Amino acid sequence: MIEPNWKTDKGDFCHNYIKVYEELFNSYKGREINLLEIGIDKGESISLWKYLLPKACIFGIDLTRECAKYAEGEKVKIFIGNQRDTDFLMRVVEEANGFFDLIIDDCGHHSSEQIVCFEFLFKYLRDGGMYIVEDAFTSYLPEFTTMTPFQLEGGLSFVDYSKSLIDDVFMRGKSNTADPKNSEKIRTGEVRLTFMEQNVSRILYTSGLVCITKKDKLL
């Protein structure tokens, strides 16, 4: 059971994400993994990750320089920068030896930021890993989806974007389960799969969260 009275807004007094994370992260307990949280604010969730995943190496990103104080040697590494800056994100990836097992986006909550960050970092998610976007209900709030200097053309919300990934899960009918002949066509390159078609395994929608799992190529 999760200890009560967590100060993070992921607790039952606010978003109640902790119960979801208990279930999702169960297979990671006791494993040495890399966890990245984008947006650590006052650092409350770091204690939660340390409790849930005691062997995890935690990487945190935030714009606020004061967040650097939450670093704890090799256990918790903090990086100050903008999630829209892919050069900055690449430096964080390199510090993690090129991969993460879990990525949690709890930062700006603007759809453009969520989409850009996902499309860049999903490549560096380990096979079988999970990419989670918190507070996805902001997709229904105009101030988080209308055009800004950083917004994608068309004002696409993150939830709408994630719905388009459902087609990638089904490979748009290209899989050999849709047509056994496709297996050979995919092997020879006659049928081409996009990166997302090759890598998105499943998408979970729950209250406030979108969890996108990367295919485990070993299965």
Instruction: State the pLDDT confidence band at 66, using cuts at 50, 70 and 90.
Output: very high
Average pLDDT score over the chain: 85
State residue 187's pLDDT score: 81
Cα 106 from chain centre: 9
120 within some domain: yes
Q: Does residue 70 belong to any structural domain of this protein? A: yes
Q: Is residue 7 part of a domain?
A: no
Beta strands in 81-176 (DSSP E): 100-105, 125-133
* Non-local CB neighbours of 19 within 8 Å, separated by 6+ positions: 2, 12
The closest of 138, 202, 141, 137 to 169, measured between CA atoms, is 202
What's the pTM?
0.87
Range from 50-54, 101-105, 137-141, 208-212 carrying the lowest mean pLDDT: 137-141
The verdict on residue 50 lying in a domain is: yes
CATH number where 40 lies:
3.40.50.150
Q: Residue 145 — pLDDT band, cuts 50, 70, 90?
A: low
Residues 6+ apart with CB under 8 A from 163: none
Q: Is residue 173 part of a domain?
A: yes
How far is it, in rounded angstroms, from Cα 3 to Cα 203? Answer: 28
Average pLDDT over residues 28-55: 91
Decide if 5 is inside a domain.
no
**Total domains, the chain:** 1
Contact of 70 with 40, CB cutoff 8 Å: yes
List pLDDT tens digits, range 170-202. 988 888 777 778 888 888 888 888 999 999 999
9 pLDDT band, cuts 50/70/90, is low
Q: At 214, phi and psi to the nearest 5?
A: -85, 145
Asked if residue 6 belongs to a domain, the reply is: no
Weakest mean pLDDT among 57-66, 132-141, 201-210: 132-141
- pLDDT recorded at residue 147: 47
**Is there a domain that residue 198 lies in?**
yes
Residue 116's domain spans which residues? 18-214
